[in-house]
Amino acid sequence: MRLDDLTANGARTLTVCNACRYCEQYCPVFPAMEERTSFARADLTYLANLCHNCGECLYTCQYAPPHEFGINVPRTLAEIRVASYEDYAWPRWLAVLFRAHSLTAAAVLVVALTSVMLRVARMTGPSVRTAAPGDFYAIVPHATMVALFGGVFAFVVLAITVGVGRFVRDVSTAGASGGAKVPPLRTGGAWRALRDGMSLRHLHPSGADCTSNEEERRPWRRWWHHLVLWGFLLCFASTSVAAVYHSVFGWVAPYAYSSLPVVLGSLGGVALLAGCAGLWVVRARRDDALGDPAQDGLDRAFLALLFVTSLTGLALLVLRDSVVMGRLLVLHLAVVLALFVTLPYGKFVHGFYRLAALWVYERRRTERRLL
């Protein structure tokens, strides 16, 4: 659906919701919606990124299909949400390319980057077949790894920062009462926004469980989300500690199985494997009406890359002293690079937009109390 059509449909849907207001107790979307008498594109983008897609409003809506109004707030906001990621992305053409061919693009990236890493390994060290088991830096020197991954990481941080900055700029000036400007946002409310975002509070507005189908609520979706989130953070912590070990203390990998980087990485890898597999199953069983089926490729590409990254990392840990270590290292590095390159354009980025939307919401709530 074109962006103009998404905007028109979103405005129609939320205008009906604004007249009804039955769901106002579910999540921040509805109190924020009620501040508005009309819905411009920036208003819809803001509300879409406040939505945690719990799905409760679909099953309680008296105007949901098969009613002639056909109101489906979760799907409407899901369509607007993913369009906003593409609209604010930098550079935008990469987002368009990845969204259109997400699974294929992810697979092609892995193959291409595996070839690149093999070439790098051949240029900088012995053959991956003849390198001594456990000697990672004989395959790819530490300086080469730092330069390659540091450059990609810097690009990812820049791309996400530009995209989220554009989003905050637009939604912070789209305001209540039909789009009137609101006072400039300050830093207050950041802690509450971070708390709600990290705890996934709004995935379960009616209790501890998440909606997967009508009259079917289970905690699995929230649990798998937590495993993916904390697994990713544990792996990031493992990499950060290993960098300190190498740069500050001069301790060179591979590290002992009982060392802090290995323990953190192992726990994070296992959590990611379980979380990605669980979310894949939950997505397959969840009511299609609760989301946008056109985004399946985008979601699955992110889960697949995360899963393969964790799988190859754990396999490399177990087999680091075997003759297949060189091949596994090259494959693992290629998959990690592919994951990094796609982060600003895939499902990963939704966490940053949601935190930003929650921060805007908390700031406005604070400002209303002060007026």
Mean pLDDT of the chain: 88
d(CA 242, CA 255): 9
Q: According to the model, what pLDDT value does residue 54 have?
A: 87
Place of tokens 């106002």: 24
3-state secondary structure of 99: helix
* 188 band by pLDDT with thresholds 50, 70 and 90: low
For the record, the structure tokens of 75 come out as: 């799907």
Task: Name which residue leads in pLDDT, 334 or 206.
Answer: 334
Q: pLDDT tens, 265-288?
A: 999 999 999 999 999 999 989 999
- Over residues 238-253, the mean pLDDT reads 93
The pair of three-digit structure tokens given for residue 168, joined into one six-digit string: 């905050």
Closest by CA to 164, choosing from 321, 338, 33, 343, is 343
Mapping DSSP to helix (H, G, I), strand (E, B) and coil, where does residue 22 land? Answer: coil
User: Distance between CA atoms of 235 and 261, rounded to whole angstroms?
Assistant: 9
**169 residue type, one letter:** R
Q: Is the pLDDT of residue 1 over 80?
A: no
Can you tell me the distance from the alpha carbon of 360 to that of 80, in angstroms, rounded to the nearest whole number?
Answer: 18
Beta bridge partners of 358: none
Examine the pLDDT at 139 and tell me if it is beyond 50.
yes
Q: What are the pLDDT digits (tens) for 287-332?
A: 999 988 888 888 999 999 999 999 999 999 999 988 888 889 999 9
The whole-number pLDDT of residue 65 equals 93
Residue 155 has pLDDT above 90, yes or no: yes
Q: State pLDDT tens for residues 203-238.
A: 776 566 788 888 888 889 989 999 999 999 999 999
pLDDT at residue 178, as a whole number: 44
Length of the chain: 371
As a whole number, mean pLDDT of residues 55-63 equals 91
Q: Where are the beta strands (DSSP E) in 128-262?
A: 210-213, 216-218
Q: What is the pLDDT of residue 369?
A: 67
pLDDT at 349: 92
- Residue 32's contacts (CB-CB under 8 Å, 6 or more residues apart) are 46, 47, 50, 361, 364
Q: How far is CA 347 from the centre of its chain?
A: 4
The number of helices, as runs of H, and strands, as runs of E, in the chain is: 16, 2
Q: What is the pLDDT of residues 73-124, one digit of tens each?
A: 999 999 999 999 999 999 998 888 888 778 898 999 999 999 988 888 777 7
pLDDT above 90: residue 197:
no
Q: Which band of pLDDT confidence, cut at 50, 70 and 90, is reported for residue 24? A: confident
pLDDT score of 16: 94
pLDDT at 131: 62
Q: What is the pTM of this model?
A: 0.89
Contact call for residues 129 and 328 (beta carbons, < 8 A): no
